Homo-oligomer: A and B are copies of this chain.
């Protein structure tokens, strides 16, 4: 939904990234550009190996080392927020995109994104109660999507 708006945002993000890189006296290389684009389009959910291969397919030579180094720069510059690993799968969060949270199916890995203004408000309240200064958050609800849930109910009744 709202594809157009999304594309504009991506373009703008890339520009911001370019500016930030240069401001720091660093260089804007094809590698950094394509890595950044990949991260945006995968919304931060990707695996290093895949990213390397995808970028190489676009005829931009890139090494794992460069991906790691670029990710670190992006972290420093604040373009990606945090790195977590869930079962060897690296997940980065893009800071500038509209915030959303995740429903994650532990069976098939499906990720459903959602956003709740109510939750955001409560969080702000909690933070101020604890004198905590939030930068970003991550809310993940793990469970079964409807499909997997139904399958598991079927299987359990057998055992």
Residue A77 lies at the interface, judged by CB distance under 8 Å to chain B = no
Which of B118, B122, B134, B144 meets A132, CB within 8 Å?
Answer: B144
B142 near A82: Cβ-Cβ < 8 Å: yes
Which of B86, B123, B139 meets A83, CB within 8 Å?
Answer: B86
B116 near A126: Cβ-Cβ < 8 Å: yes
Looking at chain A's contact residues, the main secondary structure is strand
A146 near B133: Cβ-Cβ < 8 Å: yes
Report chain B residues within 8 Å CB of A139.
Answer: 137-140
Residue A57 lies at the interface, judged by CB distance under 8 Å to chain B = no
Residue A38 lies at the interface, judged by CB distance under 8 Å to chain B = no
Report chain B residues within 8 Å CB of A143.
Answer: 127, 132-136
Report chain B residues within 8 Å CB of A127.
Answer: 103, 141, 143
Residue A145 lies at the interface, judged by CB distance under 8 Å to chain B = yes
Residue A26 lies at the interface, judged by CB distance under 8 Å to chain B = no
Report chain B residues within 8 Å CB of A122.
Answer: 116, 118-119, 122
Q: Name A110's closest neighbour in chain B (CB-CB).
A: B132
A123 near B141: Cβ-Cβ < 8 Å: yes
Which residues 50-100 of A have a CB within 8 angstroms of B?
Answer: 81-87
Q: Cα distance A135–B131 when bound, in Å? A: 30
Where the two chains meet, the residues of A that have a C-beta atom closer than 8 Å to any C-beta of B are: 81-87, 103, 105-106, 112, 114, 116, 118-119, 122-123, 126-127, 130-146, 149
Give 11 CB contacts A-B under 8 Å: A85-B85, A103-B130, A103-B134, A116-B122, A119-B119, A132-B143, A133-B145, A133-B146, A136-B143, A138-B138, A138-B142
